[in-house]
Chain A
């Protein structure tokens, strides 16, 4: 009895290994697959009007942004089918407001003026130059495009939430439950997500592929948001950054955040 059972186990183990190994340790196969999702829109220059850039970035003018306005948030969350669970535990948010002292810890002190205290800057994914979330993702479900946008593949994400631990900005949300029943009005032009995956701001890549500015930029009545290519010396955002003093969130962490807050 014993030898035949042993042989069976050996054969079974060898078969399993033979099935698993080629897929997992063949870097060529893995490489040819990975970048497809990210580059699809940008490699095809035949799509008319696609906005392209070396590095997309956003400037938030805090002299224009007002604390009581939520236009950018509403526009983004409606467009991207962000659910509203009505509780902070399961909450999903792509763009939201925080007090200045929370956005820039240490920059506010006991003698800061009222202007600073009243600010509620919008916060969202910083589309870092050196994103920790991309570094830690075990499956490549979150990745960085050549134009700097940090993206999510909702179909590859296994929901391990290491990216949420890695993000020093708290920009990521987990679908702790099925979000679909909690979307007020589903926008058929943008995918809804399944339970168990992580999501965040995508810099409206689906809009810039069509030649449109991000929804938050378009929705802002104060014209406080400027979106553009920071690598382009003649771009509007570049001129703004040359003229005005700007802060980036936790820039000392070396992540290279691409959201610039103008003061």
Chain B
């Protein structure tokens, strides 16, 4: 029995790897990329956003309207919204310095980003790496996604709060515009979210990177090839602090 259960565990693990790509094993050269708090924030956001997305679609797509009958979906929508906002707020309060730095980074754009954008199609379609400029902790595409998360996230929180808490104060016109912008924010956010999930789970060049949000680490060679600037800095820093290899 013991051997068979161990075997089935192994098999399920490999099945997961078949889908999400190779997961680094102990002994493999990896670098720390995401803290435990970051990973928790990521997965809480992922789960709550799926709930928000589905319950929101009941209002957005006339054919799915049946899902909202009775109003329970609205309750789930609100609970998910509170959980994700609360979680993000607590994360921010526990890591104010790095959070502010992270937010500032989303607004730092330069010529390197244009170079990246020009080289990106050849890279993402054909795997041509030679013209890709070295990237920081986040590459230009990730930075764009992060900017969309911040911008649309703010729109969602503000318009959502208007419709929920300030319903009695605002005029009907403001309410209706809030709901319209809530829809616009949703459409933009989830278009990018599809791209984000696709790239981190299915794209052959990123295959296996999914596990970085589970383990917090990425293979050193991945960090070097995808985030050269960040990797070099990390190595320099590690050498200086005497931790490096």
Q: Are A and B part of the same complex?
A: no
Q: Which residues of B contact A (CB under 8 A)?
A: none
